[in-house]
Every structure is written in C-alpha cells, then in structure tokens.
Amino acid sequence: MTGSVAQRPDRDLHPWLEGLSLRPDGHPTPDAVELTTGLAGREPGSLGHDGSDRFQATRKIISAAGLDPDTWGVCPACGGHGVHPDDVPPEGRP
C-alpha cells in the first residue's frame, strides 16, 4: 500500500474537507484504507473515494453475498440507466 495524500496522518486534510461542518475528525486508519482500497480497486484520491470507487465497492459486496451485481438491486423500470423507457423518444429506442 502506498501513501496517498488522503490517508497520510502527517498531512492536513484537504482544504475543501476542512471547511465542511461534518468533516472527518482525522485520517482513516491504515486498516480502513486497505479495506476500502481493496473494495474500490484503487487508493482514495485527495478527496477520498469517488462515485466510481463506491460503485465498484458495492458490486464487490453484492458479489460477496452470493448475488449477481448485474441484476440485484437494478431498477426494474429503467434497467439501471436512470431513464424510464416511457420517457425515451421513439427515435432514441434501440
């Protein structure tokens, strides 16, 4: 595990995080960084893990539960695309 800015205890928090009313109290422990890096597939950036990291971590947790991440929890109306089929113009349908 290499040390990124987001996890090194010898560095201050990113200025954007410092300004948050619900900012972290400190840096994640090395164990927490190791776990989240393993789930996300990459180390956190200067602001922590992003949405892509959370998506990958969620898929790994679903798989660890013995479920299919391609089907479990996917919206039946939009198929996970965020747009209901009734809202797609006919020329935009496959």
pLDDT digits (tens, 9 = 90+) for 3-12: 444 445 556 7
Per residue in 13-40, pLDDT tens?
777 777 777 666 767 788 988 999 999 9
Q: How far is CA 64 from CA 33, 58, 69, in A?
A: 19, 10, 10
Give how far Cα 72 sits from Cα of 34, 57, 92, Å: 26, 14, 26
Rg (CA), the chain: 18
Q: In this structure, what token pair is assigned to residue 80?
A: 């996970």
Residue 48 near residue 27 (C-beta atoms within 8 A)? no
DSSP-assigned beta bridge partners for residue 45: 48
DSSP 8-state class, residue 75: -
